[in-house]
Structure 1
């Protein structure tokens, strides 16, 4: 009888150990799934935070536009803040500093004005209207983020650049003097 009792106790102990092992494995698997779920939630939150940060960074940039309509370039500063801008032809390593474009202004720049402007600065350089098809608008938002917009295309963040040595000057070029009110002025 003592042997039967020992056997029964041993059997119960073995069964309890096996049940404990199975329950432990299940708990470990459940904890692993919970950990994976928590990791996915953390990754989602990080992506969401990154997207919100990108959106905040672009708030000023989205109010700047640049496009060509025939032989007229239109540059829009829809911000309620001054924005440093320049037109560039990267292939030719040329730039036209627009300096600080006043808030809520639209600049209408004729291709002939740009061509004559560069002819004065670089008389040996021969540019044509076709060359201006490659123009890009680079600008610096009030948070000192640098952006680039290609006519008819999207917005990209670029390397920071230093505006001209005239940080508080609005250019006296004809296109800045004749700036029009921007109908799409934001509240930034």
Structure 2
């Protein structure tokens, strides 16, 4: 079916059209869910919630013009991912304070001390996704929205319902932690 036909069929609650769209977008949306969530279980949950939400919104848009199916599903699904991660407030505090009392080792936060340049083009997807998933939710959200999805800082702040200063701060921390997570993963692979 063509995109306008699929939209029309979904708006009429056609199960066959929903199955076709599900199979058509499952891979792409599953990859997005994996980037936004900290583990596979959360990704599967947000994938189900996201598809249901997208279908519901599409059905409610009967009189308004729907952009392309690709654009609609990607935009709405990302918003659903953000809403899901923001709804898990307990993770924000637990993840952020795990190492607060770890005084046994002194940590070095100088990104350039070892002068090792990481070639991101030759890293496998699994390492990149795992490094993203290890970040705290607020950092993972802004990194995805700004660096991967290409939203401006003001757009990302609006989506996250946060100030631009907070978003900038979280982005700075996210870039640092992403780099450190990749370095840690590479050390484990070499060992």
- TM-score per shorter chain, which class? under 0.3
Answer with 1 or 2: which has the greater Rg: 1
TM-score (norm 2): 0.20
Task: Determine which structure has the larger helix proportion and give its number.
Answer: 2
TM-score, normalised by the number of residues in structure 1: 0.21
The structure that is strand-richer by fraction is 1
